[in-house]
A and B are shown apart, each in its own frame.
Chain A
C-alpha cells in the first residue's frame, strides 16, 4: 500500500482521533499533518514493520506530548468549542451533558485523556492502548480509572 493510498483510506480515522487527543479540532488537524509529514519519508520502513496503524497512533500521541511541552497549557485548554458551546442558551439537556463531559475530558492529564479516548472512541483493549502509550496494561487501567474517577467527581461538582 502506498503512502497516499493509506492516507486516503485510514487518514479520516486518524484525523478524528487527533481531534480528540488534541482536544481541539484545528490543533488535531495540524497534528495529523505534522505526523504524516514525518512518516512520509520513512513510509517503506513503517509498512515493513507490518503495523502502520499502531505506529502512526504512537507518533500522534508522542507528537501531541511534544506540542504540549512547547505551548502553554492555557492555550490548549481554552480552545474554540469550549467558549462557543458554553454560551448557547437553547442547548438541550443531552447536548449539555455531552458538552460538559467533553470539557472535562479535555481537562484530564494527557495520558488519562488519551487512554480514555483510545478506550471509549477507538474501542481498544488495555494491551493495544499500552502499546500506543508505551506503558504497561496495568498503567493503562490506572489511567482510565483515574480519568473516570475525575470525570465522575467533576460531574458531581457540576450538579
Chain B
C-alpha cells in the first residue's frame, strides 16, 4: 500500500507552480499588510485608552478564586495512590499510571494520555479544528526546554508562570510543586494556552488502559504506555462521552526487551477491521497474523486482526524476530474493542 500512497501523493502534488505570478502576489500582499498594520496600531491605541477609562474590575489576582468546572467523563479508569502534588516523585515513574488531567475537554476531538519511566508524562489533545494542545508534566525542566520566542509572565493558580509567544504557537510553563514543572503548548492563541493551563488538574491518578493483555511478559519491560480517546458530545449535552467511531480509542505499550536501550517494541491496538478477504492464513500461537511493512523508522512489523480491531507489533532499533513473534502470540485482545469498560486496567496479566 505504501507504493500506492507515494504514487497518489506525487500525482496530486504535481502541476504548474507559476512562481513569478506567486512572487508578484506575495509582494502586493505584503504591501497591503503593511498599510493595514499602521491602521491597526492607531486603532489599538484608541482601544487601550477606552479600556483604561472604562474598566477597573479585572485583576490577575482574582484568578485563584475561579471554581474548577465539573470534571467530564472521557477518561482512563481512576485509581488510588499519591497524586503529583502530594508526591512529585511519582510523576513519570510508573508507565501504567497517569498523574495529569484537565478539568474541561470541551472543544477537543481526541485526547491521549501517556506516561513513561523518564520522569515525564504527557497529555496531547487534538482540537475539533485540527490544532494540537500539548500538556506536559516533568520532574526535569530541561525536558521541557524550548528555544526562542518572546517571553512574558502570568499567574496560574497562584503560581508565577512563564509565557512564550512563538507567533504561531504559545507556551505557558509553571512550577505546580517543588521539583515539578508543567507546560502547556497551544497553537490557538495566548489566552487559550493560559485557559488550558488553569484547567490542568494534578490531584488525580489514572491507570493506563489498553484493549489487550500481554500474557507472559514482565511488567518491568514496560517503558511507556498510552491511551487515546475520541471525545464526542451528544447533541445538547454539556458533557462529553466516549464514542469509538472510526479510529477512536487506541491503546499502546512500549517495551524494552533484551537489554539494548536502543531497541524497543511497540504493541498497539485500535478499531481497524481487516477485510475478510485479507485475513492472514498464518497463525502465531493460534492467532492469525502476518508480517507487514513497518512505517519508518520501525524495522519490523506484524499485523494481528482481532474482530473489528487490529493489533500492530512494531520493532524499533534492532528487533529480535523471536521477540516479535512472541509478542504477537502474547496478545489477548478484549472481546469488544469498542466497549472501553471492558478494557483491562493494565497491559499485563
Contacts and interface: CB of A to CB of B under 8 A. Distances in A.
Interface of A: 4, 7-8, 11-12, 15-17, 19-20, 25, 29, 32-34, 36-38, 40-41, 58-59, 62-65, 68-69, 81, 94, 97-99, 101-102, 105, 109-111, 116-117, 119-121, 125-126, 133-136, 138-139, 141-142, 144-146, 148-153, 155-157, 159
Contact of A153 (B23, B131, B273): B273
A15 B185 contact: no
The winner among B12, B268, B271 for most chain A CB atoms within 10 A is B12
B307 to A, nearest CB: 13
A20 B17 contact: no
Interface stretch (B27-35, B42-50, B236-244): B27-35
9 contacts: A12-B19, A33-B25, A34-B29, A94-B7, A110-B126, A135-B132, A141-B298, A145-B268, A150-B272
Contacts of A63: 168
Interface of B: 1-2, 4-15, 17, 19, 22-23, 25-27, 29-30, 33-34, 109-110, 112, 114, 122, 124, 126-127, 129-132, 134, 168-169, 185, 187, 224, 226, 228, 246-247, 250, 252, 266, 268, 270-275, 277-278, 295-298, 310, 312, 314
A83 B177 CA distance: 56
A134 B185 contact: yes
A66 B11 CA distance: 26
A135 B134 contact: yes
B26 A17 contact: no
A32 B130 contact: no
B17 A145 contact: no
B19 A149 contact: no
Interface of chain B, helix or strand or loop or mixed?
mixed
Contact of A141 (B13, B132, B295): B295
A126 B23 contact: no
A125 B30 contact: no
Chain B CB within 10 Å — which of A25, A40, A117 has the most?
A: A40
Given A148-B295, A159-B275, A65 B187 contact: yes
A58 B168 contact: yes
Contacts of B2: 120
A120 B272 contact: no
Contact of A117 (B9, B126, B271): B9
Given A65-B131, A111-B126, A120 B29 contact: no
Ranked 4 nearest A-B pairs via Cβ: A110-B130, A156-B275, A69-B129, A37-B29
A12 B132 CA distance: 28
Given A16-B14, A121-B10, A153-B310, 8 more contacts: A7-B26, A20-B12, A36-B26, A41-B33, A102-B9, A126-B296, A148-B1, A156-B275
